[in-house]
């Protein structure tokens, strides 16, 4: 298919043996083969299977994966603008001035993970015939991880590119030819992902032996969170006649997670508002975490957040910074810890003693260590960033996202006043947590369902900013409405340059997706360029 997919599994495993995030769990670390072994001779024991599964996670830790999640899902949105440190390709990405030659639209690292997952799915079942100690339960657990991580990779690809090659067979030799055309994202890939995730939910464990594993590996709740997200995306297709059923399926998946919250309330619960930053983002693996990639200063560090969001302690200048509009999303809230904890804003005081509104903003979520100490205007100097020996986990799903996905799905189905109240109460879970219940979202302030939907979108923005989700939130809105107008209006408020050109580019819904990389098209002649870019590059 693509050159990046033509890897012997043995070479992938050999590379993976050098670094691994779960350094606290030596059994998961030391099982990698240390020699260049023959692939067919490798699948002998359950430990062999476990080591290959570990490599799936290991390759998701690559900076090229995490940085693309930020580029594709966050940097393009109204939450961010590029800084003076941004590369030309990064500037073009933000300005919707994309060509297939842009280096940021390559997808090879996602297909590396997909290829390893495919190998687990194909080869692991036969190991039970060779290893009497390899139980069916362990096999199912590992298959659940492979199915879910593969689906997660495809989910990023289809939301970013639309139709992509859907490959479920592993590349097993350098001679294997992968010339594979794109499959329909909505017609083929999403339904296949849902079936895989249903199976994975039945196979996955409720929890793993350690807290770090439970947060850092796939569990039933991790599968449910992704399944809810996929259903929410599927329902947003304006041509989907079964949208209501898909929204309900999203709600049901969220409820299965929330029932677990009640069942395991000491192990799974929302963190208090004044502890959000330290517990969820600095320490990591918090009680509200569902699935996050565990990085480690002695194994694989998270370079993507430091490089793109900046970290003065590490000598890293931000390539992307929060927009004033993003920061102002908190300013209608007098007491919102997220305004302090997620964004570092430089505030000056004028000669008359009056506070001058901030004009400079930095992302503090992920790379921060200690935020400013009070919910008052503060200077950027009050923020302490992670040291060179500290690294951030990358969070895919946490409980707050579950509440807000459920709220979005219900908002699309709601008809009655009581249903509207339910949506607002779900958003109040995160809002009141962040304000320590000193403020709340009031029913009277959202008299129409359009008001309620806008409120959900805004609360998702405040809670989940910089987590690689905002662009996809806006794109769901484009898909749902069959128009770019309302989503573009939000982008326009935050855009700082020539607005007419930007608007012209994004008036076409297909421009909200990325072009297929020229590198990938040269390697795979079966690929065709997304139509908007095919016309643009003629």
> Which position has the token pair 């083929």?
188
Domain boundaries of the chain, sorted by first residue: 3-204, 403-519
475, 377 contact by CB (below 8 A): no
Query: Rounded to whole angstroms, how far apart are CA atoms 362 and 320?
Result: 8
Q: How far is CA 228 from CA 190, 201, 246, 425, 509, in A?
A: 12, 12, 9, 19, 24
163, 144 contact by CB (below 8 A): no
Alpha-helix residue ranges (DSSP H) falling in 236-350: 243-263, 303-309, 324-328, 337-341
Residue 259 CB contacts under 8 Å (≥ 6 apart), including other chains: none
> For residue 316, what is the DSSP state?
B
Tell me the three-class secondary structure of 383-447, residue by residue. CEECCCCCCCCEEEEEHHHHHHHHHHHHHHHCCCHHHHHHHHHHHHHHHHHHCCCCCCCCHHHCC
Residue 294 has a pLDDT of: 97
Nearest to 143 by CA among 169, 117, 167: 117
Buried b (16+ CB within 10 A) or exposed e, 70-98: bbbbbbbbbbbbbbeebeebbebbbbbeb
At 362 the three-state DSSP class reads strand
List residues bridging with 362 in a β-sheet. 344
- Say if pTM beats, i.e. exceeds, 0.85: yes
Residue 183 has a pLDDT of: 98
Residue 266 has a pLDDT of: 59
The two tokens of residue 430 are 């995160």
> Which position has the token pair 């309900």?
248
Query: Rounded to whole angstroms, how far apart are CA atoms 45 and 43?
Result: 6
Q: pLDDT digits over 427-473, tens only? A: 999 999 999 998 999 999 999 999 999 999 999 999 999 999 999 99
Tell me the three-class secondary structure of 199-237, residue by residue. HHHHHCCCCCCCHHHHHHCCCHHHHHHHHHHHHHHHHCC
Residue 311 has a pLDDT of: 95
Residue 381 CB contacts under 8 Å (≥ 6 apart), including other chains: none
Residue 223 CB contacts under 8 Å (≥ 6 apart), including other chains: 144, 148, 197, 200, 201, 204
311, 319 contact by CB (below 8 A): no
For the chain, which residues score pLDDT lower than 70?
1-40, 174-175, 261-266, 332-334, 373-381, 538
Alpha-helix residue ranges (DSSP H) falling in 162-210: 190-203
220-235 helix and 399-413 helix, angle to the nearest 10 degrees = 30
Q: Is CATH 1.25.40.390 what the domain over 3-204 is classified as, yes or no?
A: yes
Nearest to 140 by CA among 124, 129, 119: 124
């Amino acid at each position: 298919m693509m050159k990046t997919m033509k890897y012997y599994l043995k070479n992938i495993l050999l590379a993976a043996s050098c670094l691994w995030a779960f350094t606290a769990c030596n059994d998961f670390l030391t099982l990698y083969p240390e020699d260049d072994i023959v692939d067919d001779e490798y699948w002998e024991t359950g430990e062999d299977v476990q080591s290959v599964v570990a490599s799936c996670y290991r390759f998701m830790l690559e900076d090229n994966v995490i940085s693309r999640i930020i580029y594709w899902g966050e940097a393009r949105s109204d939450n961010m603008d590029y800084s003076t440190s941004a590369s030309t390709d990064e500037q073009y990405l933000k300005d919707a001035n994309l060509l297939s030659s842009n280096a940021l639209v390559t997808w090879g690292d996602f297909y590396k993970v997909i290829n390893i997952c495919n190998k687990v799915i194909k080869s692991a079942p036969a190991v039970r015939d060779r290893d009497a100690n390899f139980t069916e339960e362990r096999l199912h657990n590992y298959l659940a991880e492979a199915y879910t991580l593969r689906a997660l990779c495809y989910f990023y690809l289809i939301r970013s590119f639309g139709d992509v090659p859907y490959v479920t067979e592993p590349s097993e030799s350098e001679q294997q030819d992968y010339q594979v055309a794109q499959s329909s994202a909505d017609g083929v890939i999403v339904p296949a992902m849902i079936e895989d995730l249903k199976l994975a939910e039945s196979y996955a464990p409720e929890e793993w032996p350690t807290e770090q594993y439970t947060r850092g590996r796939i569990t039933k709740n991790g599968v449910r969170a992704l399944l809810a997200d996929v259903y929410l995306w599927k329902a947003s297709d304006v041509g989907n006649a079964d949208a209501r059923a898909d929204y309900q399926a999203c709600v049901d998946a969220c409820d299965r997670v929330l029932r677990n919250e009640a069942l395991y309330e000491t192990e799974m619960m929302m963190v208090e508002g004044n502890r959000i930053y330290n517990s969820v983002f600095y320490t990591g693996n918090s009680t509200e975490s569902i699935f996050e990639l565990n990085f480690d200063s002695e194994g694989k560090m998270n370079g993507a957040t430091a490089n793109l969001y900046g970290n003065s302690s590490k000598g890293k200048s931000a390539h992307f910074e929060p927009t004033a509009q993003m920061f102002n999303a908190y300013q209608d809230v007098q007491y919102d810890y997220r305004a302090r904890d997620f964004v570092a804003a430089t505030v000056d005081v004028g000669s008359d003693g009056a506070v001058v509104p901030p004009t400079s903003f930095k992302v503090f979520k992920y790379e921060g260590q200690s935020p400013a100490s009070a919910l008052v205007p503060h200077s950027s100097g009050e923020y302490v960033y992670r040291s060179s020996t500290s690294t951030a986990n990358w969070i895919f799903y946490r409980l707050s996202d579950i509440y807000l996905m459920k709220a979005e799905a219900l908002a699309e189905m709601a008809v009655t006043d009581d249903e509207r109240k339910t949506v607002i109460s779900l958003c109040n879970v995160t809002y009141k947590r962040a304000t320590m219940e000193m403020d709340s979202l009031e029913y009277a302030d959202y008299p129409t369902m359009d008001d309620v939907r806008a409120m959900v979108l805004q609360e998702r923005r405040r809670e989940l900013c910089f987590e690689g989700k905002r662009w996809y939130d806006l794109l769901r809105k484009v898909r749902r409405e069959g128009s770019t107008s309302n989503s573009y209006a939000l982008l326009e408020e935050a855009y700082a340059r020539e607005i007419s050109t930007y608007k012209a580019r994004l008036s076409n819904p297909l421009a909200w997706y990325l072009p297929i990389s020229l590198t990938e098209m040269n390697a795979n002649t079966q690929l065709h360029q997304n139509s908007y870019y095919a016309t643009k590059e003629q």
